[in-house]
Each structure stands twice: as structure tokens, then as C-alpha cells.
């Protein structure tokens, strides 16, 4: 299996190295073989060459079985250049229309919420439209009469396939409820479409319960009673925001994994977190988000047993408190990677 590796910037490089260590152990234990090819795209490459992601690279990356991505973003580069030029470009050009983001509590001590033992929901974030479509522009830029417009794009096709994915995912994983999160009380055109399509599609899934929250109330409910959610489907921007909140209620960004997928094509797998310039280079970044992301990639590649084993190994190192400072431990990034490799041998 061919896997493209884009470590990117800051802690992206540090955590991807640990993910690769774990995948190396998976090769050994599960008798599979990965052919990794690394690509240099990110801030350094951009500052050196002026290039974010060349056209040939988009095509080439799309031909791999999967892309394992760290994070991009650098204080020396204007915000948006790398985010649009690399990350969003890949999500859009490869039509990775779902961003799947599990929010799962691996140990009760990790949640800042009182008395919560079980949190286990999965976000299906629409990943190619909404406020992220990049449609808009300036008028009279730089003058006192400047106008800046950023349009929210919602297509019937785009909304329907995200919602349909959420129901199919619920069926496939034995979950019983799909919750729609929108803001149709204010976005009376864009999110009216979401509500109509959701109602329509849900009729095809009689066994799946449905539920609905406006995004503001959802933020409240995720803190008050996160245990009630199973699958949550939501537009792009809300999915971005709510999954950082989701990460925090189960231990933080250092544990949050994500998969950009199109059921018919390749997938790009990246932790929810960014390049974290505040801790980059210190050897204290938590690699578990990247390692759990590798587990999502294994699942996508049809290696379910290996995926489960990696998740179990992560659970084991958390239970033993062999973790980085963000989770209350005192191990370094690479010591945690080693701990997961060791745990893998035990759980398999």
C-alpha cells in the first residue's frame, strides 16, 4: 500500500514521526507493507520556493492509497496562504467531502466535565463547501469604503452527500442516532436547505433516530450532556469550531484525530490540531492525536484489526499515564511514541 506523507510545519513534523514509528510496528505485527513517500510541502518549502502545492503534486497525491498529513501553518507566513494553498486545496481538489472527527473519552480523568464517564460521538463535518468555499472578494480595498464579502456556498448535492454519509456511517457502526447542527433560525436560506435535505434523507433510515440543535445550543449541550450524542452532521465552519470544543471535553487537541474522506477515492488523515508554534521544537507535543489518526487511516485501508490494535495501545498508555505534559504526564513526544509501540506488542 502506498502512503504519501506530508509532515508539514511545527509539531506536524514531530507527531508524524511518532505515527510512522507506530505504523512501522504495525507492518511487523500484521504482516503488511507500506510504501511511504514523503513530500516537503509546508512553510519552509514555501519560503524557499514560493510554491505552496504545485498542480502535479495534487494529481500525484491523489493517486496514493492514503495521505498522512501532520499540520501546516507558520507565524512567518500570512494566515491563509498555506491553509488555502495546501490543506484546503487538497480537501477540495480530491473532493474529500467528509471530515470525520471522533470525540471519544478514553479515560474519565481526561475530561474537565464533572461526573462524565462516557463520551463517544463522531462528527461528520461537510468538508468542501459552506464558508470555506473561498468565494468572495473585496471592493474598494484599502479605502474607508471597503467592502469584504465571503459567501457561504451550499449545494443540494454537497449537503445531501454529507447527510447521507452520516446516516450510512450510523448504520455501519451500529449507532442509533444522527443529530443535525445548523443555524436555520438565522441562515434562513442556506440552512433551510440543510433542514429539508436532512428530513428527506432521514425518511430512508427508519431505524435511526434523529435530533436537531442550533449551533449555539449545541455548544452548551456538548458541555452539559455530551453523552447524548452519537453521530453529528454539520456544515463546514460549525464542524471546525465544535470539534475543537469536542477535543477539549475528552482531553484536548493532543488526542483529537480526523479523517478527510471520499468513500470512492483516497483519504487524507490529519490530527485536528495545527502546527502549535507555541510548543514546536520542544519535544512535548502529544503524538496521540496523530497516532489515533493513523488508526483511522488503517481502518480506511481495510486493516480494521490493526486499526483497533493501535487504538487499544493508545488506551493502554493513557491508562498507565505514559503521556505528555498536556495530559498530566512527563514523557516527551518520542517517549510516548515508544510507549505506544511497546503497548502494541502487548495488545496484539
Positions marked active-site = 132, 183, 216, 240, 244
Answer with the entry of ligand NAD, ligand IPM, Mn ion, none that 285 interacts with (C-beta below 5 to 8 A by kind). Answer: ligand NAD
d(CA 79, CA 82): 7
**CA nearest 183: which of 131, 140, 218?**
218
**CA nearest 72: which of 89, 56, 58?**
89
Give min distance, CB of 93 to ligand NAD, in A. Answer: 16
Closest-by-Cβ residue to ligand IPM is 83
Q: Which residues contact 212 (CB under 8 A, 6 or more apart)?
A: 179, 180, 181, 182, 195, 198
Give min distance, CB of 71 to ligand IPM, in A. Answer: 8
Question: Which residues pair with residue 267 across a beta bridge?
Answer: 261
- Of 168 and 244, which CB lies nearer to ligand NAD in the complex structure? 244
Give min distance, CB of 239 to ligand IPM, in A. Answer: 8
- Of 19 and 274, which CB lies nearer to ligand IPM in the complex structure? 274
- Positive/negative CA dihedral, 172, 259, 32, 30: negative
- Judged by the rule CB under 6 A, the positions of this chain that interact with ligand IPM are 83, 87-88, 240, 272, 274
d(CA 210, CA 198): 9
Give min distance, CB of 260 to Mn ion, in A. Answer: 12
Based on its alpha-carbon atoms, the radius of gyration of the chain, rounded to whole angstroms, reads 20
- Judged by the rule CB under 6 A, the positions of this chain that interact with ligand NAD are 11, 15, 71-73, 83, 87, 253-254, 270, 273-279, 285-286, 289, 326
Answer with the entry of ligand IPM, ligand NAD, Mn ion, none that 254 interacts with (C-beta below 5 to 8 A by kind). Answer: ligand NAD
Answer with the entry of Mn ion, ligand NAD, ligand IPM, none that 88 interacts with (C-beta below 5 to 8 A by kind). Answer: ligand IPM
Return left, alpha or beta for 85; rule: phi > 0 is left, psi -120 to 50 is alpha, else beta: alpha
Amino acid at each position: 500500500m502506498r502512503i504519501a506523507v506530508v509532515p508539514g510545519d511545527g509539531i506536524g513534523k514531530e507527531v508524524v514521526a511518532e505515527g510512522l514509528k507506530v505504523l512501522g510496528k504495525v507492518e511487523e505485527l500484521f504482516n503488511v507493507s507500506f510504501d511511504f513517500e514523503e513530500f516537503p510541502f509546508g512553510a519552509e518549502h514555501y519560503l524557499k520556493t514560493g510554491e505552496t502545492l504545485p498542480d502535479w503534486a495534487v494529481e500525484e497525491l491523489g493517486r496514493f492509497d492514503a495521505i498522512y498529513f501532520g499540520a501546516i501553518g507558520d507565524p512567518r507566513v500570512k494566515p491563509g496562504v498555506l491553509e488555502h494553498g495546501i490543506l484546503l486545496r487538497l480537501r477540495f481538489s480530491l473532493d474529500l467531502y467528509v471530515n470525520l472527527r471522533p470525540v471519544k473519552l478514553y479515560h474519565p480523568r481526561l475530561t474537565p466535565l464533572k461526573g462524565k464517564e462516557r463520551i463517544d460521538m463522531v462528527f461528520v463535518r461537510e468538508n468542501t463547501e459552506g464558508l470555506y468555499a473561498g468565494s468572495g472578494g473585496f471592493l474598494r480595498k484599502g479605502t474607508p469604503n471597503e467592502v469584504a464579502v465571503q459567501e457561504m456556498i451550499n449545494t443540494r448535492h454537497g449537503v445531501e452527500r454529507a447527510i447521507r454519509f452520516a446516516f450510512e456511517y450510523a448504520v455501519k457502526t451500529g449507532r442509533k442516532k444522527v443529530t443535525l447542527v445548523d443555524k436555520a433560525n438565522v441562515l434562513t436560506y442556506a440552512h433551510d436547505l440543510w433542514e429539508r435535505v436532512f428530513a428527506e434523507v432521514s425518511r430512508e433510515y427508519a431505524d435511526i433516530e434523529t435530533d436537531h440543535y442550533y449551533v449555539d445550543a449545541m455548544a452548551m449541550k456538548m458541555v452539559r450532556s455530551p453523552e447524548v450524542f452519537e453521530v453529528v452532521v454539520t456544515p463546514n465552519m460549525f464542524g471546525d469550531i465544535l470539534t475543537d470544543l469536542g477535543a477539549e471535553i475528552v482531553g484536548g487537541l493532543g488526542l483529537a484525530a480526523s479523517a478527510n474522506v471520499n468513500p470512492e477515492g483516497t483519504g487524507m488523515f490529519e490530527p485536528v490540531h495545527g502546527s502549535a508554534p507555541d510548543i514546536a521544537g520542544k519535544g512535548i507535543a502529544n503524538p496521540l492525536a496523530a497516532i489515533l489518526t493513523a488508526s483511522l487511516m488503517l481502518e480506511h485501508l481495510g486493516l480494521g484489526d490493526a486499526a483497533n490494535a493501535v487504538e487499544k495501545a493508545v488506551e493502554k498508555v493513557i491508562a498507565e499515564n505514559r503521556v505528555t505534559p498536556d495530559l498530566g504526564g512527563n514523557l516527551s513526544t518520542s517517549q510516548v511514541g515508544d510507549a505506544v509501540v511497546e503497548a502494541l506488542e502487548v495488545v496484539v
